[in-house]
Amino acid sequence: MHKSVQDIINMKKEKKKISVITSYDYSLASLCDKAGIDVLLVGDSAGMVMLGYENTLNVSMEQMCMFTEAVSRARKNSLLVSDLPFMSYQASIEDAINNSGRLIKAGADAVKLEGGSIMAETIRAIVDIGIPVMGHIGFQPQTTTLSQGYKVQGKTKDTAMKLIEDAKELEDAGVFSIALEMVSHEVAEIISQTVSVPIIGIGSGVGCDGQVLVIQDLLGMYEKIKPKFAKRYMNLSEDIIKSLEDYKNDVISGKFPAEEHWFSMEEEELKKLREQIGG
């Protein structure tokens, strides 16, 4: 039986740190699940990491459902949360409910959406029909990049107060947790201590209740963007390129495939074949 939303809520109460990994495909999600990761997040960052988009704005519901289905087939133990992509929930509450339902049908246990107090009514409506919601404040990739670019949030008293107020409003609206992205670590710690729901940090310091990294960042597989907050536990890009170069050279030289990599006929059958074709 995989983890539930309540299990994640209880981890904060029990002062247990929460591990979250953003994953998009069956193979890597399977490994994350086997490693005991608490939450698998199917992020709309899939548009950049998996599809090569410049940002997340062009990611569609169809694509998010596809990635969610793939990860849902892989997980056995982790909670699965899936992002609502840009403009799948902002235009109307009806859109938000319908698209949340699509992600749940695709295999998610909960959905995540960006926005502070302005999204409280939408969150409340989704929660009211029984779909758990993870909030997302601080740096919001879907919209903040349009106006501010990549900037750390909560570095002044006024912006810090707004973040604290937003977190409280999302809690009141019924979120089961909040992702807090690129927020000064002092403010992130205050928010974690202020609200009762788990705060999952993305570049927001150690004072959060949990942390999230993109699996490709953790493994050193995505070279286009290297966030300061993303710790690399491996540098697989170099290893993968070296392995591919070795493969190409083996093909050119004839070292691959070797005898252990191919299949053979019975000698008697081969003899009959040669006799028939005159070989």
| Residues with catalytic roles | 181
27 is in an annotated binding site: no
Classify each residue of 18-49 as buried b or exposed e, where b means 16 or more C-beta atoms within 10 Å of its C-beta: bbbbbbbbeebbbebbeeebbbbbbbbbbbbb
The reply, when asked if residue 158 is annotated as ligand binding, is no
CA distance 145 to 174: 27
Q: What angle, rounded to 10 degrees, do the helices at 185-194 and 157-173 form?
A: 30
Q: Is 184 annotated as a binding residue?
A: no
Phi, psi of 160 (to 5 degrees): -65, -45
> Does the annotation list 248 as a binding residue?
no
Rounded Cα distance between 279 and 256, Å, is 26
Closest by CA to 180, choosing from 211, 225, 223, 158, is 211
The pair phi, psi for residue 81, each rounded to 5°, is -115, 140
Residues paired with residue 40 on neighbouring β-strands, in sequence order: 21, 80
3-state secondary structure of 23: coil
112 labelled binding-site residue: yes
- The SS3 call for residue 181 is strand
Binding site per annotation, positions = 44-45, 83, 112, 114
Binding site per annotation, positions for 3-methyl-2-oxobutanoate = 44-45, 83, 112
Binding site per annotation, positions for Mg(2+) = 44, 83, 114
